[in-house]
Structure 1
Amino acid sequence: MVGMTEINVREFRDYAAGLAQQAASLILTKRAEITATDDIRSHSQTKTSAVDPVTEVDTAAEAFIVDSIHRDRPDDGIIGEEGADIPSKSGVSWVIDPIDGTVNFMYGLGEYAVSIGAMVDGQYVAGVVINVVKQTLYSAAVGHGATVTYRDGTSTILRCRQETDPQLSLIATGFGYTQTRRSGQAKILQEVLPQVRDIRRMGSAALDMCRVAEGTVDAYYEHGVKIWDVAAGIVIAREAGAQVRVPEVWEKNSARGTLVWAASAELAPAFERLLSSVGANGEID
């Protein structure tokens, strides 16, 4: 099994960054090819419900990432949103969301991302999220901080905002794909909204975690996200100073609507109390 040495976590981060950038280029190319002659929605199928799509570009991007890892690191495990499920022989596993924000991708909204996280013996150790349209690359490795690199090559160290009052905090959230879960989320949102500065719903959990890290939102919460949605973002947010709460064990195909949240260390105690007071700590089916 692999130990979490300094060189390992940085190598994992840098390797994931290269893959994410290549996958982002592939996604843009394929989208352009399809939309030149057709509606991209005709190249999609549904998953958990009629409003939960997957496109052929999602599957192509995941295949590219999986094939690359299998070639370069054949003993590593892989967990992918679109079906990749390879047990690890090395203790290292890669958690992949080829397009987080597929609905945005289909509609031409520039808020979707490739997310690649690395785990060692079940511990989150490195993560990379790239906004495909903006080419903004967020990356982190445990013990080495979090960084954002822009299209022009300039980089900035990420730090959360230090707000302490939920009433002055901008909160990101998201919604599930089934009517029952959306109904439950709406009830919680109705209680949260009057007690915060405002709510933002951008459509990508991976990017929402990065927004907490960069301080463009103060906190994020959502029920029912999957490990591939936030595995990379967990490391990025934590390395930027956030407290992150996720399930201790993720069940890959579970429909359970468990709560995930992230907030700066300064805001986290009050934000946790707010979520508890509105009944958000439980699962939403």
Structure 2
Amino acid sequence: MQTGYYGATGGMVTQFNRLDIISHNLANLNTNGYKRDDVVIGDFLRMVQGHQDTLPIPDETRAAAKFINRTMTRVPVIAESYTDHSIGSMEHTENDLDFALKSPNMFFAVQTPNGVAYTRNGSFSISDDGYLVTKEGFHVLSRDGVDNEGGILMNPTMQITADANGNLSFKDLSNEGMADNVAGGSLAIVTFDNPKFLKKIGSSLYIEERKIPNDTSSEGLAGVNLVYNSGIVAQGFLEKSNVNAVLEMSSMIETNRLVDMYSKVMKTHMDELNSEAINKLAVRA
């Protein structure tokens, strides 16, 4: 068995997967509120050592030796994938329906057909029936409406203002005598105990992903918490993607070079080493 060939094959597959993630990051360079993904590359042996207690067979036995293929222990693999939740740059839009969150691990709650989801993309609009919605048409939830799917009813004929805690108010500028602020609800802003358990579902939306399927305990959940006095809402601003184009392009070049290197190793094993082994064995025979 050619251990080098299998090692190069595994390394190439790992770099292909990494390339997919880098390409996805670059594709969302201009997506509001997008958070870049990245991976941690380790090796099979390290992963086995980290989960030795959960192996289905005892360690230090012949069965274990067969279970852990020694030719594959140093093959590079993606040990973990994660999302970088650092804040992106802020863009001043002067649009009263644009909102940005100035702290990490803070999200707007929205109602989707599949339940409550969370987003940092605060580019909102008003639907035909007068509710504050995302660009996809999902209702932005109010602080009091998280549990009962309550949206925020807007008044497009009035000026909309929001304070740093997400409390909305309306003012009728057409009548100076009635130009008092009228309370209009509050944006539902949440934070998470374990944001690593958030799963992307597209359109800059996240849901809680349970670590253990069908587990009814709280372990493995992101742990959502409603925030009241956050002080981090900026009206008229949008948070841009936190993708660094230079960093991603450098990573893409590095990944392509590694793929090319692994390809040359595989070709050497197949075309040169195999040929040499066959010729020497044939001579000896």
**TM-score between the two structures when normalised by the length of structure 1:** 0.21
Q: Which one has the largest radius of gyration?
A: 2
Quick one: higher RCO (CA 8 Å, sep 6+), 1 or 2?
Answer: 2
Instruction: Say which structure is richer in helix.
Output: 1
**TM-score between the two structures when normalised by the length of structure 2:** 0.21
